Structure 1
């Protein structure tokens, strides 16, 4: 255990987040996501929902402020404007951790898979809600004034 570090952030996930550079992506994937086929390093957090993992990750990792978007969700197949309940939960956590300026962009299913194949790593959650996937782009930690 460490002070002020969410206990969900175990050694593998902490090391991954620390090793990522500015502009690298990390995927938080639901239980249905084809994570193993991405070819990216996998961190398994089975039994933990994606929203909880998102909150833990954003407690230590900033989102990128140099790009128009720093977080993406997968569009609902056949209805790209559909709003799944988990999307609102993702937005709530992002706003609480990073502020209201970040939007949750969307990617078509196969574009999402392609971006995941180029990510630094994939965190596999136990999330059972459909479309419980999110990609985050790491930002920089600014020096304190």
Structure 2
């Protein structure tokens, strides 16, 4: 165990989150998503796992350490319901609440069509599978930056 770190974040997930750079994307997906085959085409080349938790809980853990990109309009994406792009399932409403809480402000999800989501996920830095059994528990997040405060002036 580590202090001030969500216990869901295992070594593989923490390594990937730390290795990501500004603008890199990660996918958090449900149990129905073809995570293994998609992840093989991602930067890490392997599926990372947060088994036994739903997507909103996984999002809470990841966003406890990952800043979202503030230099883009849409740092958080959700997979659209096929044929009903404006429908927001319960899993996505719950995930939205986690994103807003982590960011301390409204950061609305932008919908992305299912096959466009798959294509984007293949280009992601990493794919994290959850135990989410509800459909459409699939999300993309773009990593932002943490800027250090200005260094104190030299006394030299």
**TM-score normalised according to structure 1 size:** 0.96
* 1:60-82 deviation per Cα after TM superposition (whole angstroms, max 9, x unaligned): 00000001100100000011111
- Residue 122 (1) aligns with residue 131 (2): no
Give the structure 1 partner of residue 105 of structure 2. 100
Higher-Rg member (1/2) = 2
- TM-aligned CA deviation for residue 105 of structure 1: 0.6
Pick aligned residue for 1:86 from 83, 86, 91: 91
Corresponding residue SS for 2:117: helix
- Residue 76 (1) aligns with residue 90 (2): no
Separation (CA, whole Å) in 2 of partners of 1:58 and 1:50: 12
- Residue 109 (1) aligns with residue 129 (2): no
Give the structure 2 partner of residue 65 of structure 1. 70
Pick aligned residue for 2:141 from 129, 136, 139: 136
Give the structure 2 partner of residue 43 of structure 1. 48
Separation (CA, whole Å) in 2 of partners of 1:87 and 1:7: 23
Give the structure 1 partner of residue 10 of structure 2. 10
Structure 1: runs of 5 or more not aligned? none
**Matched residues, number:** 145
Give the structure 2 partner of residue 19 of structure 1. 19
Corresponding residue SS for 2:48: strand
Corresponding residue SS for 1:142: coil
Separation (CA, whole Å) in 2 of partners of 1:101 and 1:62: 14
- TM-aligned CA deviation for residue 84 of structure 1: 0.5
Structure 2: runs of 5 or more not aligned? 151-156
- TM-aligned CA deviation for residue 21 of structure 1: 0.3
**TM-score normalised according to structure 2 size:** 0.89
